[in-house]
Structure 1
Amino acid sequence: MPDIAVFGRYRPGTSPLHRMDPRAKLLLSLAFTAVAFVAQTFWGLAVSAVFVLGFFALADIPLGAAFRSVGPLLFIVAITALLNVFFVQGGTVFVEWWIFRISEAGLVSAAFLGCRLLLLLLGMSLLTLTTATLDITDAFEYLLAPFARIGLPAHELAMIMGIALRFLPQFMLELQTIYRAQISRGATFTANPFKGGLSLISSLMVPLFTSAFRHAETLSLAMDARCYHGGPGRTRLHVLAYTRRDAWGAVAIAAMLALIMATNLIPH
Protein backbone atom coordinates (compact mmCIF):
# COMPACT_ATOMS: atom_id res chain seq x y z
CA MET A 1 0.00 0.00 0.00
CA PRO A 2 1.42 3.45 -0.87
CA ASP A 3 1.43 6.19 1.71
CA ILE A 4 -2.14 7.07 2.63
CA ALA A 5 -3.23 10.57 1.71
CA VAL A 6 -4.24 12.45 4.84
CA PHE A 7 -6.77 15.25 4.63
CA GLY A 8 -6.10 18.00 7.13
CA ARG A 9 -2.35 17.53 7.56
CA TYR A 10 -0.59 20.84 8.20
CA ARG A 11 2.40 21.72 5.99
CA PRO A 12 4.69 24.19 7.81
CA GLY A 13 5.89 27.18 5.82
CA THR A 14 6.58 30.90 5.80
CA SER A 15 4.44 31.96 2.84
CA PRO A 16 2.03 34.92 3.04
CA LEU A 17 -0.87 32.46 3.43
CA HIS A 18 0.88 30.71 6.32
CA ARG A 19 1.37 34.06 8.08
CA MET A 20 -2.22 35.24 7.68
CA ASP A 21 -4.44 35.50 10.72
CA PRO A 22 -6.30 32.18 11.20
CA ARG A 23 -9.59 34.01 11.71
CA ALA A 24 -9.21 35.76 8.36
CA LYS A 25 -8.33 32.50 6.62
CA LEU A 26 -11.37 30.80 8.12
CA LEU A 27 -13.69 33.60 7.01
CA LEU A 28 -12.08 33.79 3.57
CA SER A 29 -12.45 30.02 3.16
CA LEU A 30 -16.17 30.31 3.88
CA ALA A 31 -16.39 33.25 1.47
CA PHE A 32 -14.60 31.22 -1.21
CA THR A 33 -17.16 28.43 -0.78
CA ALA A 34 -20.04 30.86 -1.26
CA VAL A 35 -18.39 32.53 -4.26
CA ALA A 36 -17.70 29.19 -5.95
CA PHE A 37 -21.43 28.43 -5.84
CA VAL A 38 -22.12 31.68 -7.69
CA ALA A 39 -20.47 30.23 -10.82
CA GLN A 40 -23.12 29.02 -13.26
CA THR A 41 -20.90 28.29 -16.27
CA PHE A 42 -17.65 26.50 -17.01
CA TRP A 43 -16.08 29.94 -17.53
CA GLY A 44 -16.87 30.73 -13.90
CA LEU A 45 -15.27 27.47 -12.80
CA ALA A 46 -12.22 28.35 -14.90
CA VAL A 47 -11.93 31.65 -13.00
CA SER A 48 -12.20 29.76 -9.70
CA ALA A 49 -9.52 27.31 -10.85
CA VAL A 50 -7.15 30.15 -11.72
CA PHE A 51 -7.58 31.67 -8.25
CA VAL A 52 -7.15 28.28 -6.54
CA LEU A 53 -3.95 27.61 -8.47
CA GLY A 54 -2.74 31.11 -7.61
CA PHE A 55 -3.43 30.56 -3.91
CA PHE A 56 -1.50 27.27 -3.93
CA ALA A 57 1.40 28.95 -5.72
CA LEU A 58 1.35 31.76 -3.15
CA ALA A 59 1.36 29.18 -0.35
CA ASP A 60 4.30 27.37 -2.03
CA ILE A 61 2.41 24.06 -1.93
CA PRO A 62 2.85 21.70 -4.93
CA LEU A 63 -0.38 20.88 -6.73
CA GLY A 64 0.37 17.16 -6.35
CA ALA A 65 0.40 17.54 -2.57
CA ALA A 66 -2.91 19.39 -2.80
CA PHE A 67 -4.56 16.54 -4.71
CA ARG A 68 -3.12 13.99 -2.29
CA SER A 69 -4.58 15.93 0.62
CA VAL A 70 -8.12 15.67 -0.81
CA GLY A 71 -7.64 12.12 -2.11
CA PRO A 72 -9.72 10.47 0.67
CA LEU A 73 -12.69 12.71 -0.24
CA LEU A 74 -12.64 12.26 -4.02
CA PHE A 75 -15.24 9.51 -3.73
CA ILE A 76 -17.75 12.28 -2.93
CA VAL A 77 -16.94 13.91 -6.27
CA ALA A 78 -17.24 10.57 -8.08
CA ILE A 79 -20.59 9.66 -6.50
CA THR A 80 -22.06 13.12 -7.16
CA ALA A 81 -20.97 13.02 -10.80
CA LEU A 82 -22.34 9.49 -11.25
CA LEU A 83 -25.73 10.43 -9.82
CA ASN A 84 -25.99 13.36 -12.21
CA VAL A 85 -25.12 11.16 -15.18
CA PHE A 86 -28.14 8.95 -14.55
CA PHE A 87 -30.66 11.34 -13.01
CA VAL A 88 -30.26 14.46 -15.16
CA GLN A 89 -31.85 14.03 -18.57
CA GLY A 90 -31.95 16.23 -21.64
CA GLY A 91 -30.48 16.66 -25.08
CA THR A 92 -29.02 13.82 -27.12
CA VAL A 93 -29.32 10.35 -25.60
CA PHE A 94 -26.06 8.38 -25.95
CA VAL A 95 -26.85 5.18 -24.04
CA GLU A 96 -30.19 3.72 -23.02
CA TRP A 97 -30.63 0.39 -21.24
CA TRP A 98 -33.58 -0.71 -19.11
CA ILE A 99 -34.25 2.20 -16.69
CA PHE A 100 -30.83 3.78 -17.23
CA ARG A 101 -30.26 6.58 -19.70
CA ILE A 102 -27.14 8.64 -20.32
CA SER A 103 -27.83 11.91 -22.07
CA GLU A 104 -25.94 15.02 -23.03
CA ALA A 105 -27.41 17.07 -20.17
CA GLY A 106 -26.42 14.40 -17.65
CA LEU A 107 -22.81 14.34 -18.79
CA VAL A 108 -22.57 18.14 -18.78
CA SER A 109 -24.12 18.36 -15.31
CA ALA A 110 -21.80 15.62 -13.99
CA ALA A 111 -18.71 17.39 -15.37
CA PHE A 112 -19.82 20.77 -14.01
CA LEU A 113 -20.68 19.61 -10.49
CA GLY A 114 -17.62 17.34 -10.35
CA CYS A 115 -15.33 20.25 -11.20
CA ARG A 116 -17.08 22.53 -8.72
CA LEU A 117 -16.77 20.04 -5.85
CA LEU A 118 -13.13 19.39 -6.68
CA LEU A 119 -12.36 23.12 -6.61
CA LEU A 120 -14.23 23.47 -3.30
CA LEU A 121 -12.23 20.64 -1.75
CA LEU A 122 -8.95 22.09 -2.99
CA GLY A 123 -9.86 25.58 -1.80
CA MET A 124 -10.91 24.42 1.66
CA SER A 125 -7.84 22.19 1.97
CA LEU A 126 -5.71 25.35 1.86
CA LEU A 127 -7.03 26.21 5.31
CA THR A 128 -5.76 23.00 6.90
CA LEU A 129 -2.59 22.86 4.79
CA THR A 130 -1.45 26.35 5.84
CA THR A 131 -2.88 26.60 9.38
CA ALA A 132 -1.99 24.58 12.47
CA THR A 133 -4.88 22.73 14.10
CA LEU A 134 -4.61 24.74 17.33
CA ASP A 135 -4.75 27.99 15.37
CA ILE A 136 -7.90 26.85 13.55
CA THR A 137 -9.43 25.91 16.90
CA ASP A 138 -8.61 29.31 18.40
CA ALA A 139 -10.01 31.11 15.35
CA PHE A 140 -13.20 29.06 15.42
CA GLU A 141 -13.68 29.73 19.12
CA TYR A 142 -13.04 33.46 18.68
CA LEU A 143 -15.58 33.76 15.86
CA LEU A 144 -18.21 31.86 17.88
CA ALA A 145 -17.56 33.81 21.08
CA PRO A 146 -20.30 36.44 20.47
CA PHE A 147 -22.90 33.65 20.32
CA ALA A 148 -21.89 32.48 23.81
CA ARG A 149 -24.18 35.18 25.16
CA ILE A 150 -27.19 33.21 23.91
CA GLY A 151 -25.92 29.95 25.38
CA LEU A 152 -23.85 28.56 22.51
CA PRO A 153 -20.92 26.54 23.98
CA ALA A 154 -18.27 28.17 21.79
CA HIS A 155 -15.26 26.72 23.57
CA GLU A 156 -16.63 23.17 23.67
CA LEU A 157 -17.55 23.25 19.96
CA ALA A 158 -14.10 24.58 19.07
CA MET A 159 -12.43 21.90 21.14
CA ILE A 160 -14.49 19.16 19.45
CA MET A 161 -13.57 20.50 16.04
CA GLY A 162 -9.89 20.71 17.00
CA ILE A 163 -9.82 17.13 18.27
CA ALA A 164 -11.58 15.93 15.09
CA LEU A 165 -9.09 17.75 12.84
CA ARG A 166 -6.17 16.30 14.77
CA PHE A 167 -7.66 12.85 15.07
CA LEU A 168 -8.26 12.31 11.33
CA PRO A 169 -4.55 12.38 10.35
CA GLN A 170 -3.77 10.20 13.38
CA PHE A 171 -6.49 7.77 12.34
CA MET A 172 -5.13 7.45 8.78
CA LEU A 173 -1.53 7.05 9.94
CA GLU A 174 -2.64 4.36 12.38
CA LEU A 175 -4.37 2.53 9.52
CA GLN A 176 -1.15 2.66 7.51
CA THR A 177 0.89 1.32 10.45
CA ILE A 178 -1.53 -1.56 11.05
CA TYR A 179 -1.58 -2.43 7.35
CA ARG A 180 2.21 -2.66 7.21
CA ALA A 181 2.28 -4.70 10.39
CA GLN A 182 -0.21 -7.18 8.94
CA ILE A 183 1.75 -7.42 5.69
CA SER A 184 4.94 -8.15 7.64
CA ARG A 185 3.10 -11.05 9.31
CA GLY A 186 2.23 -12.56 5.93
CA ALA A 187 -1.30 -11.19 5.40
CA THR A 188 -2.42 -10.72 1.79
CA PHE A 189 -4.78 -7.94 0.71
CA THR A 190 -6.43 -7.68 -2.70
CA ALA A 191 -7.91 -4.73 -4.55
CA ASN A 192 -11.38 -6.15 -3.77
CA PRO A 193 -11.83 -5.96 0.04
CA PHE A 194 -14.63 -8.56 -0.06
CA LYS A 195 -12.70 -11.18 -2.03
CA GLY A 196 -10.67 -12.27 0.98
CA GLY A 197 -13.66 -12.47 3.28
CA LEU A 198 -14.39 -10.76 6.58
CA SER A 199 -11.18 -12.01 8.16
CA LEU A 200 -9.05 -9.67 6.03
CA ILE A 201 -11.29 -6.70 6.77
CA SER A 202 -11.39 -7.43 10.49
CA SER A 203 -7.59 -7.77 10.60
CA LEU A 204 -7.46 -4.05 9.78
CA MET A 205 -10.64 -2.67 11.34
CA VAL A 206 -10.49 -4.36 14.75
CA PRO A 207 -6.94 -3.15 15.63
CA LEU A 208 -7.72 0.25 14.10
CA PHE A 209 -10.79 0.94 16.23
CA THR A 210 -9.12 -0.53 19.32
CA SER A 211 -6.24 1.88 18.84
CA ALA A 212 -8.63 4.77 18.20
CA PHE A 213 -10.48 4.20 21.46
CA ARG A 214 -7.17 3.88 23.30
CA HIS A 215 -5.97 7.22 21.92
CA ALA A 216 -9.28 8.87 22.86
CA GLU A 217 -9.09 7.52 26.41
CA THR A 218 -5.46 8.64 26.75
CA LEU A 219 -6.38 12.14 25.61
CA SER A 220 -9.27 12.31 28.07
CA LEU A 221 -7.10 11.16 31.00
CA ALA A 222 -4.35 13.62 30.05
CA MET A 223 -6.81 16.54 29.97
CA ASP A 224 -8.29 15.51 33.33
CA ALA A 225 -4.81 15.17 34.86
CA ARG A 226 -3.97 18.71 33.79
CA CYS A 227 -7.28 20.01 35.16
CA TYR A 228 -8.08 21.38 31.72
CA HIS A 229 -11.14 23.60 31.69
CA GLY A 230 -10.49 25.93 28.74
CA GLY A 231 -12.36 29.15 28.35
CA PRO A 232 -10.97 32.59 29.28
CA GLY A 233 -7.41 32.76 30.53
CA ARG A 234 -6.10 29.63 28.86
CA THR A 235 -2.79 29.77 27.02
CA ARG A 236 -2.74 29.93 23.22
CA LEU A 237 -0.21 28.90 20.62
CA HIS A 238 -0.20 32.26 18.86
CA VAL A 239 -1.64 35.69 19.52
CA LEU A 240 -4.31 36.42 16.91
CA ALA A 241 -3.81 39.73 15.12
CA TYR A 242 -5.14 41.00 11.80
CA THR A 243 -2.56 42.35 9.33
CA ARG A 244 -2.48 43.93 5.87
CA ARG A 245 -2.14 40.46 4.33
CA ASP A 246 -5.66 39.66 5.50
CA ALA A 247 -7.05 42.69 3.66
CA TRP A 248 -5.37 41.54 0.43
CA GLY A 249 -7.05 38.18 0.85
CA ALA A 250 -10.45 39.86 1.03
CA VAL A 251 -9.61 41.87 -2.10
CA ALA A 252 -8.70 38.66 -3.94
CA ILE A 253 -12.01 37.01 -3.01
CA ALA A 254 -13.93 40.14 -4.06
CA ALA A 255 -12.11 40.16 -7.42
CA MET A 256 -12.92 36.48 -7.87
CA LEU A 257 -16.61 37.17 -7.18
CA ALA A 258 -16.70 40.05 -9.68
CA LEU A 259 -15.08 37.98 -12.43
CA ILE A 260 -17.37 35.00 -11.84
CA MET A 261 -20.46 37.20 -11.95
CA ALA A 262 -19.18 38.65 -15.22
CA THR A 263 -18.78 35.15 -16.69
CA ASN A 264 -22.40 34.39 -15.79
CA LEU A 265 -23.42 37.08 -18.27
CA ILE A 266 -21.59 35.37 -21.16
CA PRO A 267 -24.16 33.75 -23.49
CA HIS A 268 -24.00 29.97 -23.41
Structure 2
Amino acid sequence: MNGLTGAYVPGGSFLHRLPAGVKLLGLAVSCTALLLSPPVGLAGAVAVVALLYAVSGVGVAAAWAQIRPVRWFAVALFGVQFLLVDLPGAVSSTLRVVLAVALAGLVTLTTRTAAMMAFLERCLAPARFLGVDPFRLSLLLSLTLRSVPVVAGLATRVREAQRARGTERSLRAFAVPLVVSALRHADTLGEALSARGLDD
Protein backbone atom coordinates (compact mmCIF):
# COMPACT_ATOMS: atom_id res chain seq x y z
CA MET A 1 0.00 0.00 0.00
CA ASN A 2 2.84 2.44 0.55
CA GLY A 3 3.46 2.72 -3.15
CA LEU A 4 0.12 4.47 -3.54
CA THR A 5 1.49 7.76 -2.27
CA GLY A 6 5.25 7.54 -1.90
CA ALA A 7 5.21 9.86 1.11
CA TYR A 8 6.96 7.45 3.47
CA VAL A 9 10.74 7.81 3.77
CA PRO A 10 12.40 4.56 4.94
CA GLY A 11 14.65 4.85 7.97
CA GLY A 12 15.70 3.31 11.25
CA SER A 13 15.12 6.21 13.65
CA PHE A 14 13.13 5.81 16.84
CA LEU A 15 10.33 7.75 15.14
CA HIS A 16 10.16 5.13 12.41
CA ARG A 17 10.01 2.40 15.04
CA LEU A 18 7.24 3.97 17.12
CA PRO A 19 3.79 2.41 16.61
CA ALA A 20 1.43 4.39 14.39
CA GLY A 21 -1.05 4.83 17.24
CA VAL A 22 1.57 6.38 19.50
CA LYS A 23 2.58 8.84 16.77
CA LEU A 24 -1.01 9.83 16.02
CA LEU A 25 -1.72 10.31 19.72
CA GLY A 26 1.46 12.34 20.05
CA LEU A 27 0.41 14.44 17.07
CA ALA A 28 -2.97 15.18 18.65
CA VAL A 29 -1.35 16.11 21.98
CA SER A 30 1.32 18.23 20.29
CA CYS A 31 -1.19 20.17 18.20
CA THR A 32 -3.29 20.81 21.30
CA ALA A 33 -0.18 22.01 23.14
CA LEU A 34 0.64 24.35 20.24
CA LEU A 35 -2.80 25.94 20.48
CA LEU A 36 -2.46 26.44 24.23
CA SER A 37 1.20 27.43 24.26
CA PRO A 38 2.08 31.08 25.01
CA PRO A 39 4.04 32.94 22.32
CA VAL A 40 7.31 32.56 24.25
CA GLY A 41 6.89 28.78 24.29
CA LEU A 42 6.69 28.58 20.49
CA ALA A 43 10.43 29.19 20.18
CA GLY A 44 11.02 25.98 22.10
CA ALA A 45 8.45 24.21 19.91
CA VAL A 46 10.37 25.25 16.79
CA ALA A 47 13.54 23.79 18.26
CA VAL A 48 11.80 20.54 19.20
CA VAL A 49 10.26 20.09 15.74
CA ALA A 50 13.61 20.83 14.07
CA LEU A 51 15.29 18.29 16.36
CA LEU A 52 12.68 15.64 15.58
CA TYR A 53 13.21 16.12 11.86
CA ALA A 54 16.97 15.91 12.33
CA VAL A 55 16.69 12.73 14.39
CA SER A 56 14.27 11.14 11.90
CA GLY A 57 16.84 11.42 9.12
CA VAL A 58 14.21 12.07 6.43
CA GLY A 59 16.36 14.78 4.87
CA VAL A 60 15.99 18.49 4.24
CA ALA A 61 14.17 18.05 0.93
CA ALA A 62 11.47 15.86 2.47
CA ALA A 63 11.11 18.25 5.41
CA TRP A 64 10.74 21.28 3.13
CA ALA A 65 8.20 19.40 1.00
CA GLN A 66 5.88 19.28 4.02
CA ILE A 67 5.95 23.07 4.52
CA ARG A 68 6.27 24.21 0.93
CA PRO A 69 2.58 23.75 -0.06
CA VAL A 70 1.37 26.01 2.77
CA ARG A 71 3.98 28.75 2.52
CA TRP A 72 1.71 31.21 0.72
CA PHE A 73 -1.13 30.46 3.11
CA ALA A 74 1.27 31.17 5.97
CA VAL A 75 2.25 34.48 4.38
CA ALA A 76 -1.42 35.44 3.93
CA LEU A 77 -2.26 34.40 7.49
CA PHE A 78 0.63 36.45 8.83
CA GLY A 79 -0.52 39.51 6.88
CA VAL A 80 -4.13 39.24 8.05
CA GLN A 81 -3.13 38.68 11.68
CA PHE A 82 -0.66 41.54 11.54
CA LEU A 83 -3.40 43.90 10.32
CA LEU A 84 -6.05 42.65 12.75
CA VAL A 85 -3.96 41.96 15.85
CA ASP A 86 -0.27 42.84 16.12
CA LEU A 87 3.17 41.54 15.18
CA PRO A 88 3.57 39.06 18.08
CA GLY A 89 0.08 37.71 17.45
CA ALA A 90 0.77 37.31 13.74
CA VAL A 91 4.03 35.47 14.37
CA SER A 92 2.41 33.18 16.96
CA SER A 93 -0.60 32.27 14.81
CA THR A 94 1.55 31.58 11.76
CA LEU A 95 4.05 29.50 13.71
CA ARG A 96 1.28 27.38 15.22
CA VAL A 97 -0.09 26.49 11.78
CA VAL A 98 3.33 25.81 10.23
CA LEU A 99 4.47 23.69 13.17
CA ALA A 100 1.25 21.67 13.16
CA VAL A 101 1.67 20.99 9.43
CA ALA A 102 5.33 20.06 9.97
CA LEU A 103 4.43 17.60 12.74
CA ALA A 104 1.68 16.00 10.67
CA GLY A 105 4.13 15.70 7.80
CA LEU A 106 6.68 14.04 10.05
CA VAL A 107 4.13 11.41 11.03
CA THR A 108 3.43 10.76 7.36
CA LEU A 109 7.12 10.57 6.48
CA THR A 110 7.93 8.08 9.23
CA THR A 111 4.81 5.88 9.14
CA ARG A 112 4.08 3.24 6.55
CA THR A 113 0.63 3.37 5.01
CA ALA A 114 0.00 -0.24 6.05
CA ALA A 115 0.77 0.59 9.70
CA MET A 116 -1.45 3.67 9.59
CA MET A 117 -4.31 1.67 8.08
CA ALA A 118 -3.93 -1.17 10.57
CA PHE A 119 -4.25 1.26 13.47
CA LEU A 120 -7.23 3.06 11.94
CA GLU A 121 -8.88 -0.28 11.20
CA ARG A 122 -8.58 -1.31 14.84
CA CYS A 123 -10.06 2.01 15.96
CA LEU A 124 -12.91 1.71 13.46
CA ALA A 125 -13.73 -1.92 14.30
CA PRO A 126 -17.07 -0.97 15.97
CA ALA A 127 -18.24 0.34 12.57
CA ARG A 128 -18.66 -3.32 11.55
CA PHE A 129 -21.84 -3.41 13.64
CA LEU A 130 -23.25 -0.69 11.37
CA GLY A 131 -22.51 -2.72 8.26
CA VAL A 132 -19.37 -0.74 7.37
CA ASP A 133 -16.12 -2.51 6.48
CA PRO A 134 -13.45 -1.09 8.84
CA PHE A 135 -10.68 -1.92 6.35
CA ARG A 136 -12.24 0.07 3.53
CA LEU A 137 -13.11 2.94 5.86
CA SER A 138 -9.53 3.05 7.16
CA LEU A 139 -8.28 2.96 3.56
CA LEU A 140 -10.52 5.90 2.71
CA LEU A 141 -9.32 7.93 5.69
CA SER A 142 -5.67 7.11 5.05
CA LEU A 143 -5.85 8.06 1.38
CA THR A 144 -7.74 11.23 2.25
CA LEU A 145 -5.06 12.29 4.72
CA ARG A 146 -2.27 11.57 2.25
CA SER A 147 -4.06 13.24 -0.67
CA VAL A 148 -4.17 16.63 1.07
CA PRO A 149 -0.44 17.38 0.66
CA VAL A 150 -0.54 15.91 -2.84
CA VAL A 151 -3.27 18.31 -3.98
CA ALA A 152 -1.54 21.18 -2.20
CA GLY A 153 1.65 20.33 -4.07
CA LEU A 154 -0.25 20.26 -7.36
CA ALA A 155 -1.69 23.69 -6.60
CA THR A 156 1.78 25.04 -5.88
CA ARG A 157 3.15 23.73 -9.18
CA VAL A 158 0.22 25.17 -11.13
CA ARG A 159 0.68 28.56 -9.43
CA GLU A 160 4.39 28.56 -10.27
CA ALA A 161 3.60 27.71 -13.89
CA GLN A 162 1.12 30.61 -13.93
CA ARG A 163 3.75 33.04 -12.74
CA ALA A 164 6.18 31.78 -15.36
CA ARG A 165 3.57 32.46 -18.07
CA GLY A 166 2.47 35.77 -16.57
CA THR A 167 -1.12 34.58 -16.01
CA GLU A 168 -1.17 34.57 -12.20
CA ARG A 169 -4.28 36.80 -12.13
CA SER A 170 -6.35 34.36 -14.18
CA LEU A 171 -8.61 32.11 -12.11
CA ARG A 172 -9.29 29.91 -15.13
CA ALA A 173 -5.58 29.44 -15.80
CA PHE A 174 -5.25 28.18 -12.22
CA ALA A 175 -8.43 26.13 -11.80
CA VAL A 176 -8.39 24.16 -15.06
CA PRO A 177 -4.82 22.77 -14.79
CA LEU A 178 -5.35 22.03 -11.10
CA VAL A 179 -8.55 20.05 -11.76
CA VAL A 180 -6.91 18.18 -14.64
CA SER A 181 -3.85 17.34 -12.51
CA ALA A 182 -6.04 16.23 -9.60
CA LEU A 183 -8.09 13.99 -11.92
CA ARG A 184 -4.91 12.45 -13.32
CA HIS A 185 -3.72 11.76 -9.79
CA ALA A 186 -7.10 10.19 -8.99
CA ASP A 187 -6.86 7.99 -12.11
CA THR A 188 -3.38 6.85 -11.12
CA LEU A 189 -4.57 6.11 -7.62
CA GLY A 190 -7.58 4.24 -8.97
CA GLU A 191 -5.34 2.10 -11.19
CA ALA A 192 -3.13 1.31 -8.19
CA LEU A 193 -6.17 0.30 -6.13
CA SER A 194 -7.51 -1.79 -9.00
CA ALA A 195 -4.18 -3.58 -9.34
CA ARG A 196 -4.48 -4.53 -5.67
CA GLY A 197 -8.06 -5.74 -6.06
CA LEU A 198 -9.50 -2.86 -4.04
CA ASP A 199 -11.62 -1.23 -6.73
CA ASP A 200 -14.97 -2.85 -5.93
Instruction: Give the Cα–Cα distance (whole angstroms) in 1 for the partners of residues 37 and 148 of structure 2.
Output: 31
Tell me the equivalent position of 1:60. 57
Instruction: Give the Cα–Cα distance (whole angstroms) in 2 for the partners of residues 78 and 201 of structure 1.
Output: 19
Q: Taking structure 1 as reference, are residues 56 and 37 closer, same or farther at Cα in structure 2, changes over 3 Å only?
A: same
Segments of 5+ residues of structure 2 without an aligned counterpart are none
- Equivalent residues of 2:39, 2:88 under 8 A apart: no
Q: How many residues align?
A: 194
Instruction: Give the Cα–Cα distance (whole angstroms) in 2 for the partners of residues 166 and 122 of structure 1.
Output: 14
Is 1:148 equivalent to 2:123 in the alignment? no
Within 5 A, what are the aligned runs for 1:162-177?
Answer: 162-167=142-147
TM-score where L is the length of structure 2: 0.74
TM-score where L is the length of structure 1: 0.58
After TM superposition, give the deviation of residue 46 of structure 1 in Å.
1.8
After TM superposition, give the deviation of residue 121 of structure 1 in Å.
1.5
From the two aligned structures, give the one with the greater helix fraction: 2
Matched residue type, 2:84:
F
Alpha-carbon RMSD: 3.8
Tell me the equivalent position of 2:139. 159
Q: Taking structure 1 as reference, are residues 191 and 116 closer, same or farther at Cα in structure 2, changes over 3 Å only?
A: farther
After TM superposition, give the deviation of residue 81 of structure 1 in Å.
1.8
> More relative contact order in 1 or in 2 (CA 8 Å, sep 6+)?
1
Q: Taking structure 1 as reference, are residues 108 and 210 closer, same or farther at Cα in structure 2, changes over 3 Å only?
A: closer
Counterpart among 143, 146, 169 of residue 194 in structure 1? 169
Once the two structures are superposed, residues 157-176 of structure 1 have per-residue CA deviations (whole angstroms, 9 ceiling, x without a partner) of: 31112223454576678889
After TM superposition, give the deviation of residue 39 of structure 1 in Å.
0.8
Tell me the equivalent position of 2:74. 77
Identical residues among aligned pairs (%): 21
Within 5 A, what are the aligned runs for 1:25-174?
Answer: 25-42=23-40, 44-63=41-60, 65-88=62-85, 106-145=86-125, 147-148=126-127, 151=130, 153=132, 154-167=134-147
After TM superposition, give the deviation of residue 133 of structure 1 in Å.
2.0
- Equivalent residues of 2:13, 2:57 under 8 A apart: yes
Segments of 5+ residues of structure 1 without an aligned counterpart are 1-6, 89-105, 230-268
Once the two structures are superposed, residues 151-195 of structure 1 have per-residue CA deviations (whole angstroms, 9 ceiling, x without a partner) of: 4944343111222345457667888999xxxx9xxxx94254336
- Equivalent residues of 1:29, 1:123 under 8 A apart: yes
Once the two structures are superposed, residues 35-69 of structure 1 have per-residue CA deviations (whole angstroms, 9 ceiling, x without a partner) of: 22221132x11221222122122212334531232
- Equivalent residues of 1:137, 1:162 under 8 A apart: yes
